[in-house]
């Protein structure tokens, strides 16, 4: 198996991070991988907000959990009420990926950028977790106050986020893969 295939195989969501900040050069390479993702008609309809301020990361977590506690979505409420849960798993870096609201492919293009960043992270020894949850807060009335502080550009909508940091302990192999999702017709 070549290196790239091995990195793709080895990447698993990290939910336990060391508090140490990631190296600037690693962050730069990860962001670079994001912006080199494919996008429909090469519109690159994304914006990346890198948050490395612990106070802001924790306030986002707090507000997300308060929001989740009041949700009528049982799944979300369970996380809101779990004292040990942190929406970013206390990672020292969070990248919020927002997308141009006028571009119908934004969620797909932003997902491609996220996946590139996760794989780049793995190749550099940086653990990562794709975070969809925070979108519930940031696209709600309760989350509006954060948009300015996060400098999300006008006309952009929060879509995905990525937690990044060095892995704490050895990661488990993570969820197995279904085997019936491929059909071959020759």
Q: Rule CB under 6 A: is residue 17 a binding residue for ligand FMN?
A: no
Work out which of 51, 60, 110, 131 binds ligand FMN, going by CB under 6 A: 131
Any bridge partners for residue 164, and if so which?
A: 93, 128
Q: Rule CB under 6 A: is residue 6 a binding residue for ligand FMN?
A: no
Q: Rule CB under 6 A: is residue 169 a binding residue for ligand FMN?
A: no
Smallest separation (angstroms) from ligand FMN to the CB of 140: 15
3-state SS class at 95: strand
Cα–Cα distance measured from residue 73 to residue 58, given in angstroms and rounded to the nearest whole number: 23
Show Cβ contacts of residue 100 under 8 Å, excluding neighbours closer than 6 positions. 43, 45, 46, 106, 155, 156
Work out which of 130, 142, 150, 152 binds ligand FMN, going by CB under 6 A: 130
* Whether the Cβ atoms of residue 103 and residue 45 lie closer than 8 Å to each other: yes
Cα–Cα distance measured from residue 106 to residue 40, given in angstroms and rounded to the nearest whole number: 9
Work out which of 38, 125, 153, 174 binds ligand FMN, going by CB under 6 A: 174
Q: Rule CB under 6 A: is residue 119 a binding residue for ligand FMN?
A: no
Chain residues binding ligand FMN by CB under 6 A are: 12-13, 15, 129-133, 174-175
């Amino acid at each position: 198996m070549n290196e790239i295939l091995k990195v793709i195989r080895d990447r698993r969501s990290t939910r336990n991070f060391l508090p140490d900040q990631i190296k600037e050069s690693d962050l730069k390479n990860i962001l670079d991988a994001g912006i080199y993702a494919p996008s429909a008609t090469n519109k690159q309809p994304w914006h990346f907000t890198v948050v490395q301020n612990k106070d802001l990361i924790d306030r986002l977590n707090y507000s997300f959990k308060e929001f989740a506690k009041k949700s009528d979505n049982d799944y979300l409420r369970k996380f809101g009420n779990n004292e040990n849960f942190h929406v970013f798993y206390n990672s020292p870096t969070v990248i919020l990926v927002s997308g141009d609201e006028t571009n119908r492919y934004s969620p797909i293009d932003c997902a491609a950028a996220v996946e590139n960043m996760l794989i780049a992270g793995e190749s550099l020894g940086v653990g990562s977790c794709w975070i969809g949850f925070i979108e519930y807060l940031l696209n709600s009335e309760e989350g509006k106050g954060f948009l300015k502080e996060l400098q999300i550009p006008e006309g952009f909508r929060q879509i995905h986020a990525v937690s990044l940091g060095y892995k704490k302990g050895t990661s488990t192999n993570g969820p197995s893969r279904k085997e019936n999702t491929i059909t071959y017709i020759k």
